[in-house]
A and B are shown apart, each in its own frame.
Chain A
Amino acid sequence: MKRRHLPALLGVAVLIAIPLSIRNSFFLHVCILILMWTVLGAAWNVLGGFAGQVSFGHAALFAVGAYTTIILYLKGGLAPWWGIPLGGLAAALVSVPIGLLCFRLRGPYFALATLAVAEIVKLVALNWESVTAGSVGYLITTLPSVRLFGLSVNWEAKTPFYAAAVALAVVALLTTGWLRNSRLGAYLVAIRENEDAAEAVGIDTVRAKVVTLALSAFLAGMGGGFYAFYFRYVDPDAVAGIGLSMEMVFIAVVGGLGTVGGPLIGAVFLTAVAELVRDRFQMGHLIFYGLFMMLVIRFMPEGIWGRVRRLTAGATAGA
């Protein structure tokens, strides 16, 4: 066993141990939220962190996933483990034309374009009532009765959702880890560093960005699908608002742009702030998101994970 795999294996062991040892359902709920946010932060980070393409419209992709999954379930009876990946796939498909359009723009212009796209998607969700049920939205009242490995799944317990969230988070982190070491990942870094220079050495920057956006959309869409089943409710304000886009940005920035572990740290941070503050005053957590984002960009632009990694790398080198 290689030493660098040790932390990952340890992490997986802890993740498996949590529901077995702790029966507190609120605690499990918090863990589920953290894992869901990890997936969403990782989704944003693939594009924003690695390729340097800041999107303020990722909620649109989340929404496509959430709607696809919930509609497939309510109208087609499709089970979650089919519906969630299909939600991801739908988001990825939608993201391709969006990418081909918006990637003609660079830097802040791209960011503005994604903002507009997200607003358009939200308007469509509000007004295309025959498909999206408009502002009323969709509600899941009963979940399917299923038997897995001879056991019937108890949807009232948090455990099945926890298992699904772990699976999604592992997929997201493995994807990011693979990307970091792949040729595509190297191309994305080149694009972030200097797009003209990347083109000049033969990198098809548009293709690299579109593929990455689709990957990012797949993760965000699966996150949306998971959300639909876990919260059992989808409407435009809940899944397509700009606030959700900003939360994904927050996780990636605070955790560490372009790092693999960053989104997990960012998600822990975000969930902790939200749960600690939410009960005391309404929307108060958003104040802290704003504040922390400003502080992180000012004092450690590499994010928490990036800073820790640099410090530990320095310590190892010094030893």
Chain B
Amino acid sequence: MALLEVHGLTRHFGGVSAVSDLSFSVNEGEILGLIGPNGAGKTTVFNLVTGFIRPLAGAIRLDGQSVVGLRPHAVARRGIARTFQIVKPFPGLSALENVTLAAFLRHPARRDAEAAATAQLTRVGLGGRLNEIASRLTLMDQKRLEMAKALATRPRLLLLDEPMGGLNATEVDDASDLVRQIRASGVTVVLVEHVMKAIMRISDRVVVMNQGEKIAEGHPKRVVEEPAVLAAYFGKRVA
């Protein structure tokens, strides 16, 4: 059954169309890869789903209930969490304080929130850096922090925006394992990623976007052989 349904989603900026008439759904418990060349509109989709930008047309439903028009915090409360492609920590606060702020959403008492935050930080591998100031963490650790923050809001659906960008091969493997483990804990995942190796390995399904439109959808291995996808990635000549 579909956890998230997106239907006819449309948004343009000025005259430039960022997302047009996009429809897809995410099934409960799956890892969906959202891929496409630069400027395809993937991040815009995340911004639309999480309420950072309002769509001009279209429907977004979580578990059958519309989330269109909700502000981001209300979307988070409904159970959709996200990370940012360019990480957005609270730079002057410690890792623990960062995640505690997110954990407050489900644990109003500070003590409970801190316990939940510590658990999430340990889960992403930052258990030993609880008191490190966020801006002093390495990029890899900031990406982990970003994920711990999102997880601390106890989402049903997690939107990861390039969690592996800028990481080396070992780090990519670690991050892939983490994403699979998050799914195993019952969280549905949508992943925007350029690291194709990781996408192919961990996605159950992929949706391919180009210039704001969906051009293909299906099993990762089969989708990359479709002519439209090849054309989008390598130019028309190859197709």
| Chain B: CB-nearest residue to A186 | B101
On chain B, the residues within 8 Å of A197 by CB distance are 84, 88-90, 149
On chain A, the residues within 8 Å of B91 by CB distance are 193-194
On chain B, the residues within 8 Å of A187 by CB distance are 101, 104
A45 to chain B, nearest CB (A): 17
Selected from A183, A193, A199, A202, the residue in CB contact (under 8 A) with B90 is: A193
Mask, B64-80, CB within 8 Å of A = 1, is 00000001111011000
On chain B, the residues within 8 Å of A202 by CB distance are 73, 76-77, 102, 104-105, 153
Residues of chain A from 158 to 191 with CB closer than 8 A to chain B in the complex? 183, 186-187, 189-190
Are A183 and B110 in touch, CB under 8 angstroms?
yes
| Chain A: CB-nearest residue to B77 | A202
Report if A291 contacts B (CB, 8 A). no
B186 to chain A, nearest CB (A): 19
Selected from B52, B92, B153, the residue in CB contact (under 8 A) with A201 is: B153
Mask, A186-223, CB within 8 Å of B = 1, is 11011001101111111111100000000000000000
Could you say which of B72, B102, B104 has the most chain A C-beta atoms within 10 Å of its C-beta?
Answer: B72
On chain A, the residues within 8 Å of B72 by CB distance are 196, 199-200
On chain A, the residues within 8 Å of B82 by CB distance are 200
Interchain Cβ contacts within 8 Å, total number: 74
Are A203 and B89 in touch, CB under 8 angstroms?
no
A177 to chain B, nearest CB (A): 16
Are B71 and A201 in touch, CB under 8 angstroms?
no
| Chain A: CB-nearest residue to B51 | A199
Indicate the size class of the contact surface on chain B: 20 to 34
Are A190 and B101 in touch, CB under 8 angstroms?
yes
State in angstroms the CA–CA spacing of A154 and B40 once bound together. Answer: 76
Are B73 and A194 in touch, CB under 8 angstroms?
no
Mask, B201-238, CB within 8 Å of A = 1, is 00000000000000000000000000000000000000
On chain B, the residues within 8 Å of A205 by CB distance are 73
On chain A, the residues within 8 Å of B88 by CB distance are 194, 196-197, 200
Given contacts A199-B71, A202-B153, contact A186 B104 (CB under 8 A): yes
Residues of chain B from 77 to 101 with CB closer than 8 A to chain A in the complex? 77, 81-82, 84, 88-93, 97, 100-101
State in angstroms the CA–CA spacing of A202 and B77 once bound together. Answer: 6
Residues of chain B from 31 to 70 with CB closer than 8 A to chain A in the complex? 50, 52
On chain B, the residues within 8 Å of A196 by CB distance are 52, 72, 84, 88
Mask, A2-29, CB within 8 Å of B = 1, is 0000000000000000000000000000
Report if B189 contacts A (CB, 8 A). no
State in angstroms the CA–CA spacing of A239 and B149 once bound together. Answer: 45
State in angstroms the CA–CA spacing of A186 and B149 once bound together. Answer: 15
On chain B, the residues within 8 Å of A203 by CB distance are 73, 101, 104-105
Given contacts A193-B92, A193-B93, contact A200 B101 (CB under 8 A): no
Residue contacts A-B, CB under 8 angstroms, 10 given: A187-B101, A190-B90, A197-B84, A197-B88, A198-B73, A200-B73, A201-B76, A201-B150, A201-B152, A206-B71
